[in-house]
Amino acid sequence: MSDKIKIAVVGSGNVTLTLIKGLEFYKNSTEGLWHPKISGLTLRDITISAVFDIDSFQGRKKNRSSDYKL
């Protein structure tokens, strides 16, 4: 069994971007983290394996005004 964590993320918005930037930032310096090691694992053991973005409007017409009812 590997002691690595692989993460696949669905949705590539602001929260995902912040997560990825945070993981990369704290791999170099764990100063400021409350728990730099959990169960013997550190941030160096976490890798992003995939990011999927889902668009709910895919395949629809460009005019989305009909989706909103007043």
16 near 52, Cβ under 8 Å?
no
Which residues make Cβ contacts (< 8 Å) with residue 45, sequence separation at least 6?
3, 4, 5
For tokens 């909103």, name the residue: 68
pLDDT tens digits, residue range 40-64? Answer: 888 899 999 998 887 766 555 555 5
| Model pTM score | 0.62
Side-chain-side CA neighbours of residue 28 (13 Å):
4
Cα gap 22→51, rounded to integer Å: 16
pLDDT tens digits, residue range 18-45? Answer: 988 988 898 888 888 898 888 888 889 9
